[in-house]
Amino acid sequence: MVYEFEGRTEKEAIDRAAEELGLEKNDFDVEIMETQRQGLFKKGYVKIQVHTDRPVTRTETGPDPVRRSSEGRRSPAETNGEEEPSAGRQTVFGNPGAENEFEKKMVDFLEGLISRMGYGGKASVLFREDRKIGFKIDSEHSSILIGKKGKNLDALQLLANIYAGRLGREDTRIILDSENYRIRREESLVRLAYTVADRVRENRASILLEPMNPFDRRLIHTTLNDIADVETKSEGEGLYKQVRVYYRGSMR
């Protein structure tokens, strides 16, 4: 299910979502759709979309879902295994070897998938969290497996999440990484966000960024949330939307 909420801040919107849906905050994913700073003649607000496959207990004033998959939950194509940015995500390493049958099947699936693509590679566990597990792919062909802007890695991650669902683990999110690409990509996007913000403030115009997955888009929104005179908004349809960064007041 997908729901929309608004609040004066991101935290307020997320708190409102948790209260009205009757869920814990770690039971849903959040995508920031639009941010607007408070001005002299307008109120500031943050609009978010909440994605969850958990049963909700909505209040009488709670929201209606704005979109759902054919089975009433987010489809793998909608999620692509993406989640909110988390700098501490890499802190739970533990044993890189498979500790149970599910992890062993996932490792075998990933290594078999890479082999059928014509490349060699080894998969291991990168981190373990509640309802989330990361796998690392080591290969001499990592640059190919990652692909331009990480799209090949995103595609492999999507297939991994579909396979996990077939193993009866729809509630477990699979995250794939190789050569620390996810961290390097995050650092690159933060630098891009600040660079674009400077250009927008200098020219008092707007800049439309390239299509990005939900994780990358939220990182742009969050990075620029506290930059004076700059606002952001997601545009487009589907998984890969674009973020428009614009000078405050230029989009009236």
pLDDT of residue 249: 61
Task: Report the range of poorest mean pLDDT among 22-31, 87-96, 169-178, 238-247.
Answer: 87-96
- pLDDT tens figures, 193-220: 999 999 998 888 889 999 888 888 888 9
What percent of the chain is modeled with pLDDT above 70?
76
- The mean pLDDT value for 171-198 works out to 90
Which of the pair, 10 or 148, is modelled with greater confidence?
148
More reliable by pLDDT, 215 or 102:
102
Q: Please provide the DSSP assignment of 129-183 as one string.
A: ETTEEEEEEE-TTHHHHH-GGGHHHHHHHHHHHHHHHHTT-TT-EEEEESTTHHH
pLDDT at 38 over 70: no
pLDDT digits (tens, 9 = 90+) for 49-77: 777 766 666 554 455 444 333 233 334 44
Tell me the per-residue pLDDT of 118-152, one tens digit each, with 9 for 90 and over: 999 999 999 888 888 999 999 999 999 999 888 89
Cα–Cα distance measured from residue 119 to residue 116, given in angstroms and rounded to the nearest whole number:
7
Q: Minimum mean pLDDT among 88-92, 172-176, 227-231: which range?
A: 88-92
pLDDT of res. 60: 45
User: The tokens 């991650």 sit on which residue?
Assistant: 157
Segment 78-90, tens digit of pLDDT = 444 444 444 334 4
**In the prediction, which pLDDT does 56 show?**
67
Do 171 and 133 contact (CB within 8 A), yes or no?
A: no
- Whether the predicted pLDDT of 18 surpasses 50: yes
Strand locations in 90-170, DSSP E? 122-129, 132-138
Q: What is the pLDDT of residue 44?
A: 64
Q: Report, as an integer, the average pLDDT of 227-247.
A: 87
Picking from 7, 160, 173, the residue whose alpha carbon sits closest to that of residue 74 is 173
- What pLDDT was estimated at residue 106? 94
- For residue 136, the model assigns a pLDDT of 94
Domains parsed from the chain with CATH numbers: 2-74 (no CATH), 89-179 (3.30.300.20), 183-247 (3.30.1370.50)
pLDDT(104) > 90: yes
Query: What angle, rounded to 10 degrees, do the helices at 101-116 and 151-166 form?
Result: 140
Cα–Cα distance, 107 to 129 (Å, whole number): 17
In the prediction, which pLDDT does 107 show? 94
